[in-house]
Amino acid sequence: MIWLIELALVLLLVGGGFKLLARGKGTDKREALTLRRVDAYIETIRRERSNPALAAMSDSELRDLLHSGARNLRIAGERKGWTLLGVAAVALFCAIVAASQDGLRGFAIAIVVGALAVYGLNEFLSRRMREPLERRGIDVDRLRVE
């Protein structure tokens, strides 16, 4: 019974790894969409004038700032994904070891602790990757390209 759970969790972990590896495809389309979103956000900043520091910048300065911020956000998101995958793999390994020592109860406890660790790390890294842009008054959701 436990080996079925272990097999399912390993397959989920491998599937998550392949999904992260496949994210690099279509970077030209993503880059073009990012540039369009940056240009649209520049127009919004000029129209609303809600942030005087951003409104005082020239278009080229603002474009460079927003484009580099969007790129840094994307890189931080990829780094976060790999980190969470590694932590999930360690949690799965620990759960398997606990299952061999204590059975299903030990496996369940180790998986719950691992899931809580992954969730907490996800929240921490998500806030940390948004913080530099929000400090400058940039709306991160306008730059995010899915």
Structural domains of the chain, count: 1
In whole angstroms, how far apart are CA 53 and each of 33, 69, 71, 85, 120?
A: 25, 16, 21, 38, 34
83-98 b/e with 16+ CB inside 10 Å = b? ebbebbbebbebbbeb
The pLDDT score that the predictor gives to residue 7 is: 77
Who contacts 50 (Cβ-Cβ below 8 Å, separation ≥6)? none
Q: Which domain holds residue 51?
A: 2-143
Distance CA 129, CA 143 (A): 13
Q: What is the DSSP secondary-structure string of 89-122?
A: HHHHHHHHHHHHHHTHHHHHHHHHHHHHHHHHHH
pLDDT of residue 109: 93
The residue ranking higher by pLDDT, 101 or 22, is: 101
Q: State the pLDDT at residue 23.
A: 62
Q: Give the pTM.
A: 0.73
Question: Distance (Å, rounded) from C-alpha 97 to C-alpha 25?
Answer: 36
